[in-house]
Amino acid sequence: MDFSFLEQVFWGNTIKTYAIIAGIIVFGLLFKKIFSRVLSKLIFKLFKKFADEVNSETFIALLLKPIEFFISVFTLFVAIKQLKHPLNLTFFNYKRTIDKVKVSEAFTIGELVDKVFLFLILLSIFWIVLRIIDFIAHVLLVRAAKTKNRADDQLVPFIKELLKFIIGFIGFFVLLGYVFEVNAVSLITGLGIGGIAIAMAAKESLENLLGSFLIFLDKPFTVGDVVKVDGIEGTIERVGFRSTVLRSADKTTYVIPNRAMIDGVLENLTMRNARRVKFDIGLTYETNSGDIKKIIEALETYLKEHPSTTDSTVALDSFGDFSLNIQIIYLVPMKKEFDLAKIKEEINFKAIEIVQANGSEFAYPTQRTVGENTAVKEQK
């Protein structure tokens, strides 16, 4: 069979070259998922002893997309490098100094393609490294969940974000050095006044970073604690590199800068050993003093005998505009088996029963006026 037609040249390349390029691209795209899974499993073997309590599929799921991206980029790079035209064409001319002599050089399309693919390949490698950090953090969180110390649950996400920030910082300067051929050391030292300006602009970010370290050192709260800061009450879900995430009772998410968490007045409601309940009940002025004393004694006895309350106080507190106010105060210990809402409801119903059993009624706003014939009229 005559294959001489494959040597025919179109746009600077033979048909054979185009066929090879098409074959490489099709082969890479068809088998990239298989290669990705195989490569993921091989990398997982390095972490097998460390992650013996975690399924390998978790690791594969994290690395599948970045490895597929790496294989796709690498496949396209190998395929395009088979071309001769237009890679050898000049993209632009530039001058540079060599031994104090200015030399004119050409930057070809092929060199541009190399730079683009080098950028994408390095990007995919750092993406893979970041996903590996995510996996390590996942393993550590699984282990932390098995311990009673909740500080571990808070520390792991913070370290993960810190490591990812460091990797991102390193990746940025690697790309500058290898892709754009920028001397990173000279760049940093040459910032001068510009560096000071950047530092001033990043002042709040640095304060938030310092705040995160202080949170971990002082430990005013841990993940899972209920706190109140600047009037916002919620459960700590995550302490990050820059901010802390709170989830309120109505499921609203609040993201508060770490600086605000340490600068403001913070109440850790979880650290309380008891919740204080205080409220008043108003009796009508028709209630005689004997019945009031009976009501107070009955309420005191009930609260002292109640298994979910301590340090209770019941007393005639004040004379209101339309009621005799009895103040009730008690503490509910912070125990998992105690439901504060249910306990308050139970005590409130008992208060109603005691008041009604002693021949009294609850007062409500009333106004009395005297008519022309001195008859008393009551307006409710």
Tens digit of each residue's pLDDT (9 = 90 or more) over 327-363: 999 999 887 777 888 999 999 999 999 999 998 999 8
Residue 376 clears pLDDT 50, i.e. is over it: no
Residue where the block lists tokens 């390349």: 13
What's the rounded mean pLDDT across residues 111-135?
92
Residue 195 — very low, low, confident or very high, per pLDDT cuts 50/70/90?
Answer: low
Residue 378, pLDDT above cutoff 60 = no
pLDDT(314) > 80: yes
Q: Is the pTM higher than 0.85?
A: no
Task: Delimit the CATH 2.30.30.60 region(s) of the chain.
Answer: 169-271
Higher-confidence residue of 373 and 177: namely 177
CATH assignment, 169-271? 2.30.30.60
d(CA 345, CA 332): 13
Give pLDDT tens digits for 21-50.
899 999 988 888 898 999 998 888 888 888
Find all residues with CB under 8 Å of 309, minimum gap 6, and list them: 303, 330, 331, 332, 343, 347
Domain with CATH 3.30.70.100 in the chain: 274-357
**Average pLDDT over the chain, rounded to whole?**
83
What burial letters (b/e) apply to 241-255, b meaning 16+ CB within 10 Å?
bbbbbbeeeeeeebe
204-234 pLDDT, tens digit per residue, is 777 777 788 788 777 888 888 889 988 889 9
Whether pLDDT at 53 is above 80:
no
Confidence of residue 372 (pLDDT cuts 50, 70, 90): very low
Q: What is the distance between the alpha carbons of residues 294 and 354, in angstroms, rounded to a whole number?
A: 9
Place of tokens 């500058």: 176
pLDDT band (50, 70, 90) for residue 202: low
Residue 65, Cα to own-chain centre: how many angstroms?
A: 23
Closest CA to 153 of 161, 164, 144: 144
Question: Tell me: the pLDDT tens digits for 145-157?
Answer: 787 777 777 788 8
Distance between CA atoms of residues 188 and 191, nearest Å: 6
**Neighbour count for residue 283 (Cβ, 10 Å):** 21
CA distances in angstroms from 80 to 13, 30, 90, 175, 204, listed in the order given: 12, 18, 17, 22, 46
Q: CATH fold of 274-357, please?
A: Alpha-Beta Plaits (3.30.70)
pLDDT at 315 over 90: yes
Q: Which residues, listed in sequence order, are joined to residue 191 by a DSSP beta bridge?
A: none
pLDDT for 196 beyond 60: no
Interatomic CA distance for residues 42 and 36, integer angstroms: 10
The residue behind tokens 């208060």 is: 351
pLDDT value of residue 289: 92
Give pLDDT tens digits for 283-312. 999 999 999 999 999 999 999 999 999 999
The pLDDT, as a whole number, for residue 300 is: 94
Residue 380 DSSP SS3: coil
pLDDT for 187 equals: 61
